Structure 1
Amino acid sequence: MTPEEWIAHDPDPVTAAELAACDPAELAARFAHPLAFGTAGLRGPVRGGPDAMNVAVVLRATWAVARVLHDRGLGGATVVVGRDARHGSEAFATAAAEVFAAQGFRVIALPHPAPTP
């Protein structure tokens, strides 16, 4: 996906505007590689682009998890979506819960930040 396509489809107008204001070198850096899922999950700076934590990345990652669950015969199962107290966590949890619900899962969204491993 090109930076222009990402910006056009970014569901968050704040990160879309942030990316639109980046110079070409910064855009190239942000689009050089996607944010990797590691042993601690998705971790990175909160900013626009595929190499960082933002609503667009959370939507894509959650869709992928939902797809794997469906493929393993777990479609429609109950998922629990929690969050911690870091910046953006509430919006990310809401986005994840919406994706799971749209994919037919029963979602239990924890209402407050909770300790995470």
Structure 2
Amino acid sequence: MGRWVMLGGIKGLFEGLFTVFKHLFKRPVTLEYPEKKRELNDNFRGKPVVEGCIGCGICQKVCPTGAISFTKDENGKVSSYTVDLKKCMFCGNCEYYCPKGAIKLTKEYELATDDIDELVLKYNGGCND
């Protein structure tokens, strides 16, 4: 009985070594991030940037998470708006439905920060603060 257990252990050892040597000379699956960065697809959706917004509110209506909000002045015009990256799921609806093409999703994806307030983008009059 002990002999068969020992032979089974040796068999397992050689199967493991075979697997190691089989993958030893293959191209690595992972990258040495952040030193090396993967090329992004053309369809990648990263941090939104707003330029030239007319304040129509379509992006706010189509945003499934409510990440976009507007502030109106006493005349009813949009005076400022915010994009909350903590809520944003980068679906691209705002970019797709914007009639002026004012919202673009960039390829910027490194959004980690120590200050959570940096994840709320505030815009006034179409210009980033």
> Which bracket does the TM-score occupy, shorter chain normalised?
under 0.3
Bigger-Rg structure (1/2): 2
| Structure with larger RCO (C-alpha < 8 A, sep 6+) | 2
Whose helix proportion is higher, 1 or 2? 1
Instruction: Tell me the TM-score normalized by structure 2.
Output: 0.24
Q: Which has more strand, going by share of residues?
A: 2
TM-score normalised according to structure 1 size = 0.26
